[in-house]
Amino acid sequence: MNEAASDLDHCVTLDGYSLTRAQVVEIARRGATIDFDDDALKRVDTAAAYVAEKARSGEVVYGVTTGFGKNSDVILPSAEAAVELQRNLIISHAVCVGDPIPNEAVRAILAIRINTLLQGHSGIRRETLATLADMLNRGVHPIVPEKGSCGASGDLAPLSHIGLVLIGLGEAEFDGEIMNGADAMQRAGITPVELTYKEGLALNNTTAFMTGLGVLALDRLETLAKTADIAAAMALEAIAGRSAAFDARVHALRPHPGQIAVAENIRKLTVGSTLVDIDPDAVPKVGGDWPIEPGQTTPSAGKSKSPQDSYSIRCVPQVHGAIRDTLSHAISVFDRELSSVTDNPILFPDDDAAISAGNFHGMPLAMALASVKNAIAILASISERRLAKLVDAHTSDGLPFFLVDNNDGIQSGFMIVQYSAAAVVNDLVSRAHPASTYSIPTCANFEDHVSMGANEANHVSAMTDDLERVLAMEILGSAQAIDLRQRILAGELWSDGPTNPEALARAEANRQSAPQASPAISKVVARVRDSVDYLRRDRELRHDIHATIELVRGGKLVAVAERHCGPLS
**What pLDDT, on a 0 to 100 scale, did the predictor assign at position 538?**
94
Pairing of strands 11-14, 33-36: parallel
Distance CA 561, CA 466 (A): 22
* Backbone dihedral angles phi then psi of residue 410, each to the nearest 5 degrees: -120, 5
Tally Cβ neighbours within 10 Å of residue 283: 23
Closest to 231 in 3D by CA, of 259, 270, 258, 276: 270
Distance CA 21, CA 43 (A): 24
Q: Which one, of 35, 545, 489, lies nearest residue 286 by Cα?
A: 489
Measured CA to CA, the distance from residue 321 to residue 262 in angstroms comes to: 6
Superfamily of domain 216-565: Fumarase/aspartase (Central domain) (1.20.200.10)
CA 262 – CA 324 distance, rounded (Å): 9
CA distance 339 to 111: 11
Do 167 and 87 form a contact (C-beta atoms < 8 A)?
yes
* Catalytic annotation present for 438: no
Largest CA distance in the chain: 98
E strand map for 332-437:
346-348, 353-355
Q: For residue 424, give the nearest of 262, 545, 551 by alpha carbon.
A: 545
* pLDDT of amino acid 388: 98
Q: Is 388 left (phi over 0), alpha (psi -120 to 50) or beta?
A: alpha
Relative to beta strand 346-348, strand 353-355 is antiparallel
CA angle 427, 431, 432 (to 5 degrees): 115
Q: What is d(CA 379, CA 470) in angstroms, rounded to the nearest whole number?
A: 9
Q: Which residues, including other chains, have CB under 8 Å from residue 251's CB and lie 6 or more apart?
A: 259, 260, 263, 317
- Predicted TM-score (pTM) of this structure: 0.92
| 35-67 tens-digit pLDDT | 999 999 999 999 999 999 998 888 898 888 888
R_g of the chain computed on alpha carbons: 28
pLDDT at 1: 35
* Active-site option among 62, 197, 438, 534: 62
- Same fold yes or no, 5-206 and 216-565: no
**The predicted structure's pLDDT at residue 502:** 67
How many whole angstroms separate alpha carbon 199 and alpha carbon 333? 27
Give the CB-side neighbour count of residue 378, counting CA atoms within 13 A: 19
Alpha-carbon span 353 to 340, nearest angstrom: 18
Strands 171-174 and 141-142: antiparallel
Half-sphere exposure of 417 (CA within 13 A, CB side): 39
d(CA 497, CA 494): 8
User: Does residue 154 contact residue 359 with C-beta atoms inside 8 Å?
Assistant: no
Torsion angle defined by CA atoms of residues 209, 215, 220 and 221, in that order, rounded to the nearest 10 degrees:
110
C-alpha of 341 from chain center: 25
Q: Which residues of the chain have a pLDDT value below 70?
A: 1-9, 285-301, 493-500, 502-510
Residue 234 to residue 228: CA distance in whole angstroms: 10
The CATH architecture assigned to 5-206 reads: Orthogonal Bundle (1.10)
What DSSP assignment string belongs to 512-563? HHS----HHHHHHHHHHHHHS---SS---HHHHHHHHHHHHHTTHHHHHHHH
Which H or E run includes 229? helix 208-238
Give, to the nearest 10 degrees, the angle between helix 208-238 and helix 316-337.
Answer: 160
How many whole angstroms separate alpha carbon 160 and alpha carbon 384?
Answer: 41
CA 139 centroid distance within chain: 23
Phi-psi region of 462 (alpha: psi -120 to 50; beta: other; left: phi over 0): alpha
Nearest to 343 by CA among 34, 120, 161, 193: 120
Query: Is the Cβ–Cβ distance between 203 and 155 less than 8 Å?
Result: no
Is the torsion defined by CA of 363, 365, 368, 372 positive or negative?
negative
Q: For the chain, give every domain's residue range.
A: 5-206, 216-565
